[in-house]
């Protein structure tokens, strides 16, 4: 017998997401008018957000990806961050915007910011679509933030549960 997952309920609709992503792109562009700009997507959850954010920035930029894992197939972080895919090009001398889908415990974001600071970038800033401060274990400065949310489990717009639901166009809540 197949057990069906609960039906996701919309928390933030696609129109609000698009409006906020456009504003974040404009802010990043204002803050970084010259020099090499690299937007670094943290896989897999940020890929849709990163694509829309890249199109919201009209100046030249380079896109890189970094794979990390701290959840596996669970709904809570294991606390151990593992790099599963490293950068393919150096970032030294560049202004780097790390693009995350969500910052909740802060463990992954803090780990990444420390790792990237050692790679001699001109600057490293964090852009996160979502922030869940109720789950914070480590303080993290988010330079560009989409939305702050309550302590609910969200999927859609790139976020997943056991590799499912990433394709939903809205950010949705899955209730247990």
- Tell me whether residue 104 is one of the annotated catalytic residues: yes
Residue 79, pLDDT score: 63
Q: Which domains does the chain have, with CATH numbers?
A: 15-149 (3.40.50.2020)
* pTM (predicted TM-score): 0.89
Catalytic residue among 104, 143, 160, 170: 104
Is the Cβ–Cβ distance between 68 and 114 less than 8 Å?
no
Residue 48, burial from CB neighbour count under 10 angstroms (0-12, 13-18, 19+): buried
Please give the chain's pLDDT, 176 residues, in tens. Answer: 444 566 899 999 999 999 999 999 999 999 999 999 999 999 999 999 999 999 999 999 999 999 887 755 545 555 677 788 878 899 999 999 999 999 999 998 998 998 888 889 999 999 999 999 999 998 999 999 999 999 999 999 999 998 899 999 999 999 86
């Amino acid at each position: 017998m197949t057990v069906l997952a609960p039906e996701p309920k919309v928390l933030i609709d696609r129109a609000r997401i698009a409006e906020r992503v456009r504003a974040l792109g404009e802010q990043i562009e204002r803050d970084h008018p010259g020099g090499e700009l690299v937007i670094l997507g943290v896989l897999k959850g940020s890929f849709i957000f990163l694509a829309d954010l890249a199109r919201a920035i009209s100046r030249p930029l380079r896109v890189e990806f970094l794979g990390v894992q701290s959840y596996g197939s669970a709904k809570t972080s294991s606390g151990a961050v593992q790099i599963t895919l490293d950068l393919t090009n150096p970032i030294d001398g560049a202004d780097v915007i790390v693009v995350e889908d969500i910052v909740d415990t802060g463990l992954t974001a803090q780990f990444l910011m420390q790792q990237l600071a050692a790679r001699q970038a001109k600057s490293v800033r964090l852009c996160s679509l979502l922030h869940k401060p109720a789950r914070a274990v480590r303080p993290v400065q988010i330079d560009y933030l989409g939305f702050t949310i309550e302590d609910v489990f969200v999927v859609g717009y790139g976020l997943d549960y056991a590799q499912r639901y990433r394709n939903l166009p809205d950010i949705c809540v899955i209730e247990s």
